[in-house]
Structure 1
């Protein structure tokens, strides 16, 4: 299993790739929709990519909590298999 730092960096890479951002453009609590113009399709893509990368299942009901990097990290930390 990858170390915490590697997993955290990979989360950021996935989000930046799906939202077409550079890592330096994205702060831990920047809201994807309000601050970066993400749409629901992009957010579903983030969810799917995270599930595939980390081999976990995230319920779509968690999407509101996953509005920023900190929220994603929180949801993943509570996910079975993480």
Structure 2
């Protein structure tokens, strides 16, 4: 996992699960948002915006292509936040 603390990872997962309307035990680091959980592109943008607000960072929308699962979100967010 990227340089994300356990606390940050828990917050990220909570945000993602809330937006995808899933229980936390349904989402793993590798489970794909679109293929495994039926998320559409609007949900992906909502995840990006929520993470930007929560962590006070700016994430380039081009990074959405990497944010297909929790591990991808951790990596993009860590890079954007400079963790």
TM-score (norm 1): 0.92
Unaligned runs of 5+ in 2: none
Task: Flag the structure with more relative contact order, 1 or 2, with Cα contacts below 8 A and sequence separation at least 6.
Answer: 2
CA RMSD of aligned residues (A): 1.3
Unaligned runs of 5+ in 1: none
- The match for 1:65 is 66
Q: Secondary structure at the match of 1:79?
A: helix
Runs of 4+ off more than 6 Å: none
Q: Secondary structure at the match of 1:21?
A: coil
- The match for 1:53 is 54
The reply on whether 1:39 has 2:36 as its aligned counterpart is no
Aligned residues: 80
Q: Secondary structure at the match of 1:11?
A: helix
- The match for 2:7 is 6
Shift of 1:80: 3.8
- The match for 2:19 is 18
Whether contact under 8 Å (1:56, 1:81) holds in the other structure is no
TM-score (norm 2): 0.91
